[in-house]
Each structure stands twice: as structure tokens, then as C-alpha cells.
Amino acid sequence: MTSPDHPLPPDPLGLIVRLIHRDASVLILNKPAGLPVHKGPGGGENLSDHLSALRFGLPRDPELAHRLDKDTAGCLVLGRHRRALERLGKLFKANQVDKTYWAVVEGGPAIDEGEIDLAMSPRDPKRGWWMKVDPKGQPALTRYRVLGQAGGRTWLALEPVTGRTHQLRLHCQASGFPILGDTIYGTAPRHGGPGLHLMARAISLPYDPKRPPIRAEAPPPDHMRVALAACGWTGGDPS
């Protein structure tokens, strides 16, 4: 219940309706594509500046437990208090969080299921997010599975075993099937392209050892739906 003395905080980005999980410790948000999670060097709209809308009565804003690229939509985990953030940080650092991404790629792998094991490092130390394959870099492992194909494109489920910056985007490009709409590692133009066809589809968090994992699933963003449907997606989750 709110009153004129205790109004709800503003929610100009409509974050409340994008929540797909909420409990006393953890929030999982369906992040929209095109929204950075942090303020960049040039400023501009970003998620972190609007997290007060998700306090739900607590004295502090929730905080990000991990990050998604600006153009990647889907499941984003937030901790509601310091103890939750510490627990989530340990889970992500230990690679105990199961994450499944969906992507539509140009071309596709030669086999329907496998692993991409390519170490990575920054291409330019001044631009740490811009990555390259580097045998001397940090180990990076991605599991993939083909979910559908059509018209020279493939719908993939991607599971990043490690969590390197731009891992899925670089691994797909380096394997010969760049993600549709990727302006950095793919063939998309810098402006006016189809949008990055990559989303964080599902996540599983073993937050409390005495309870089942927290599981959440995000619907595909609008800009991915046509390509997914062409590859066989019918609105549900494939077996």
C-alpha cells in the first residue's frame, strides 16, 4: 500500500512489468535489447540509473550480480541486499550458474551438438571489451546445440561454461557462423541492421543449497521472433 507520503518510485523504463522472478533476495529481469546495464563514457540511458524502481520497500537499490551486453536481451540477475550479492557473486565466480542463450546465426555448425574451446584476450588494451581468439589468453568454453535451421540460418542454444566478455559472439564468429545482427564480430552494418539475434533465454541459480534452484525463462525479444519462427520456433521451449 502506498500513500502520498510514500509514493512508488518512478519506473520510466517499465522495469516492474519485466520482472520474471522476485523473492526476498533475488530479482531476475527480462532486460530489453539496446539498454546498457551501466553508464558508458558518453553517458546516456542505462539500467543502473533506474534500479530504485525495484526496491519494493527495501532501503537500498538492488544491484547487478552480473552483466549483459547492451544489445543482448533476456535474463539478468540482481541481488536485493549485500548478503544476496555476496552469495550470487560466489556462484557466478565458481561457474555454478547454468545459463542458456538463444542465437540465430548465419550459416551454422557442421554437427548438431558440440563445444567451442577457444581462449580469448582483448584485441586492444584500450578497448577491453573488444576481443580476439588468442591461444595465450583466458580459457573460454561454450557448448552449443542446434535447435532449428532454415534459409542459410541456424537457431542455436548456447551454454557458456566460462563467462568471458563477448564470449558467445566471438566463439560463433571464429567458428564460421557469426550471430545475425552482430555489428562487431558479424556482417551487420553499424546502423540499420536487424539487431543482435542473441538473448539470455534461461538461467538456473542454486542460491539456497536446501532448496531447488531458482529458475527463470525470458521470452524472445520482438526483433528475434521472425528469424526464430523461420527456423522452427513455435512459441514454446524445444525439447
Sign of CA dihedral 145, 147, 152, 153: negative
Residue-by-residue pLDDT tens, the chain, 239 positions: 444 455 667 898 999 999 999 999 999 999 999 999 998 767 788 999 999 999 999 999 999 999 999 999 999 999 999 999 999 999 999 999 999 999 999 999 999 999 999 999 998 877 657 899 999 999 999 999 999 999 999 999 999 999 899 999 999 999 999 999 999 999 888 888 899 999 999 999 999 999 999 999 999 999 999 999 999 999 877 75
CA distance 48 to 216: 21
Q: Give residue 7's pLDDT.
A: 61
Catalytic annotation present for 69:
yes
Cell of 121: 584476450
Task: Indicate the burial class of 219 (C-beta count within 10 angstroms; 0-12, 13-18, 19 or more).
Answer: middle
Catalytic residue, chosen from 69, 134, 182, 222, is 69
- The predicted pLDDT at position 192 comes to 81
pLDDT at 170: 97
CA distance 89 to 69: 18
- Note the pLDDT of residue 39: 82
Looking only at the bridges linking them, the beta strands covering 198-205 and 214-217 are antiparallel
0.95 surpassed by pTM: no
Name the nearest CA neighbour of 191 among 71, 69, 39: 71
What per-residue string of b and e applies to 7-33 under the rule 16 or more CB within 10 Å gives b?
A: eeeeeebebeebebbbeebbbbbbbeb
Plot region of 140 (φ>0 → left; ψ -120 to 50 → alpha; else → beta): beta
Return the closest-CA partner of residue 200 out of 66, 91, 100. 100
Work out whether strand 73-79 and strand 98-106 pair parallel, antiparallel, or are unpaired. Answer: unpaired
